[in-house]
Structure 1
Amino acid sequence: MVQAVPFGSVELHLVSGVTLLREDAAVFEAMLEGWAAQQRGGRNLQAYTVGQRVHAVRRFQRFANAYPWEWSAAGFDEWMTDQVTVHQLVPSTIRNNQIAIRQFCDFLCSPHYGWADECERRFGSHPVQVCHEWNTRVHVQENEADPRRRPLTRQELQRLFDRADEEVETRLRAGRKGAASAYRDATLLKVIYAWGLRAREAIMLDTADYYRNPKLPDFGGFGFLRVRYGKASRGSPPKPRTVATVMPWAVDALADYVERVMPLMQGGQASALWWSERGTRLSQRSLNDRFAQLRDELGLDERLTPHCLRHSYATHLIEDGHDPVFVQRQLGHAYQSTTGIYTHVSEEFANRILKDALGRIPNLLPEGMEKQ
């Protein structure tokens, strides 16, 4: 039985016996093509993930001004220093770049694909692994987001919604264009918060994603939300989840938008929930820009993004007494520790829990926290 040639093999991406015009550049491109094929075909990774990794390898090659059979750990160290000190990239981006270079070097050094022998024959040298435990970042914690990002307080959240609603009224009174889009934006922000969504999850919603909850008929057709574009594991397709509706006021706001405003913006017969002024699905960039405008008008921290609404959702559900496991399921987290990252309860809530716990132990309730 003939052994099949593995995805990414040099035999599939370099034609033997052909003189290459720019041999070094041509071999490098063939390496990238082979690595991409190995990831897509052999490992079934998503095209976006593969593209990001290939892009990272290209950036390192340009920085080092050298090809993989010339790379060294010292050159990789210089690139990491540039990323940290000059470009000031966040830790997660730096780690992703390190992972890409490490896996690319592993691919080239593997005897299964033949690239090391090919480089030795053509250039008298071969690729080596330039990433090791001393020059790569160890993943020691699950959350590496900017600690200055936080959930909105209930007061800040109300101010945000009030300002978005005020813009609708202002445009209507002045007879200006854009009242419908302002109403759309106000509703979109409320939906992100009320169902604990990520920005892309919200942007990709269709009207058919909402459906009835038989146990809560008062919510009509908005009792459950099927999120189809949940955050994927690396290289995997989007992970869907079902979110139960828990905020009646959000149902009223969304139902009003769907009935009165969405038909004014809808393009054709498509079922997208959020439409741009051009009759196409609203972009995530438009959402980010609108949130940033409202945030700046209110004088909130410039590091806050639409994702803080999801943090606010998790925090407020916990403060309102919802079971942590329920909140975990609503957010679509595999582990409760991840939900804990999203939860930043207020001091008032923490003190209430503390007082309740200490109140069960005789003579341990501190002065100033008398039991009610």
Structure 2
Amino acid sequence: MLVGWERQQKSRLLSEATIEPRIALLRRFTEFAGSFPWEWNAGDVEDFTVSLMSGGARLAPSTIRGYHLTLRMFCDYLLDGRYGWTAECEHRFGAIPSQVCHDFNTVAHLSEYEGRPGRRPFTYDELQHLFDFLDTRVERVQRSGRKGAWAALRDAQMIKTCYAYGLRRRELCNLDVADLRPNPHMRQWGRYGAVHVRYGKGVRGGTPRRRTVLTVPEFDWAVDGLRQWVEQARPLLEPGTRDALWLTERGQRISVKTMDHRFAWLREQAGLDADLSLHCLRHSYVTHLIEFGYPERFVTEQVGHSYASTTAIYTSVSNDFKTKTLKAALARVYESTEER
């Protein structure tokens, strides 16, 4: 059954990163239920859900809903008459599979955003503090004469690039030098006028989507940083034919997990809120583009969203922006009233 369902998903061109966790979940659920798929019942799902919500490692609602969806899809596959599993189970075991997931024992999708409430965009002051800390750290390590100045510069530039182009973590770590593209309208930026993203988030487990993120004038400071990294710092490692933009000291592409750990440590050293993750820089990018006055459609295409409603989830205008907007509105309304 598992082999057949895996083959069906591969026929849909789903990636291994999507298929493997699904198969692992089914094995985990089978072990938890202590029975085979043709013996599962709705109570097994409910007991499994309760176990996921117990203890200190309670899972997020979105994760549990994903588990329910996987179980539902697998049962749909078993009940599909084109694959013959119902007849096979009845012939061999005198029992047939059933759909164990229904509307009354699975998590409903009630809200657009289900992330942690503490997750939010960085304020301008927090961004300035973080970037100042990163720059000071590079200078301090370099003056001390200890190893690590090169890695400190890499970390600083990765974090700044993540914000300046609104990248996801996987998109950031999978950048190659060849992904840095010129913008013919801004020749002074050289090859740093745009970033070509080849590992964007796929739709429904499909292949990664591509997009080109243009450098915007408000973030043109990122151009000098990328130029310093590509033309001065990165060659010190003698990468040879390796194309990865961000390398470790051993010459390997830096992983998402490693970058998460690096950012968490740097955030702690900088004394910032523990709820601020690397992905929050992407939220900040969307928020600040909106505040700068960029059209919603432009922002949506920059960050690779399919729908403007998804972009709206990331938007949280700052208090300064709200204050300026309110002052402008008050002036517009009350000045016109006084004139009359």
Return the TM-score normalized by structure 2: 0.94
Cα 1:102–1:164, aligned 2, differ >3 Å: closer, same or farther? same
1:78 match: 47
For 1:103 and 1:163, the matched residues in 2 are separated by: 48
1:156 match: 126
2:247 match: 275
Cα 1:353–1:61, aligned 2, differ >3 Å: closer, same or farther? same
Counting aligned pairs with the same residue, the percent is: 49
1:249-264 residue pairs with structure 2 within 5 A?
Answer: 249-264=221-236
Compare 294-303 and 272-281 and name the one that shifted more.
294-303
The one-letter amino acid paired with 2:50 is: T
- 2:14 pairs with one of 24, 41, 45: 45
Q: How many residues align?
A: 335
1:103-122 residue pairs with structure 2 within 5 A?
Answer: 103-122=73-92
1:1-372 residue pairs with structure 2 within 5 A?
Answer: 31-41=1-11, 43-86=12-55, 87-246=57-216, 247-362=219-334
Would you say the 8 A contact 1:70–1:125 is kept in 2? yes
Give a deviation string over 1:166-187, Cα, whole Å, max 9, x none: 2211221111011111111111
Would you say the 8 A contact 1:358–1:364 is kept in 2? no
Deviation at residue 311 of structure 1 after TM alignment: 0.8
Which ranges of 4 or more aligned residues in structure 1 deviate by more than 3 Å? 357-365
More RCO (CA 8 Å, sep 6+): 2
Q: Structure 1: any 5+ residue segments left out of the alignment?
A: 1-30
Give a deviation string over 1:83-107, Cα, whole Å, max 9, x none: 1233411111101100110011111
For 1:269 and 1:205, the matched residues in 2 are separated by: 15
Deviation at residue 335 of structure 1 after TM alignment: 1.1
For 1:103 and 1:60, the matched residues in 2 are separated by: 14
Deviation at residue 152 of structure 1 after TM alignment: 0.8
Give a deviation string over 1:177-226, Cα, whole Å, max 9, x none: 11111111111111000111011101111111112111111211111111
Return the TM-score normalized by structure 1: 0.86
For 1:322 and 1:48, the matched residues in 2 are separated by: 35
CA RMSD of aligned residues (A): 1.7
For 1:161 and 1:35, the matched residues in 2 are separated by: 48
Would you say the 8 A contact 1:152–1:312 is kept in 2? yes
For 1:131 and 1:364, the matched residues in 2 are separated by: 61
Deviation at residue 324 of structure 1 after TM alignment: 2.1
Instruction: State the SS of the aligned residue for 1:128.
Output: coil
Give a deviation string over 1:43-73, Cα, whole Å, max 9, x none: 2222221112111111111111111111110
For 1:169 and 1:72, the matched residues in 2 are separated by: 62
For 2:75 and 2:95, the matched residues in 1 are separated by: 14
The one-letter amino acid paired with 1:353 is: T
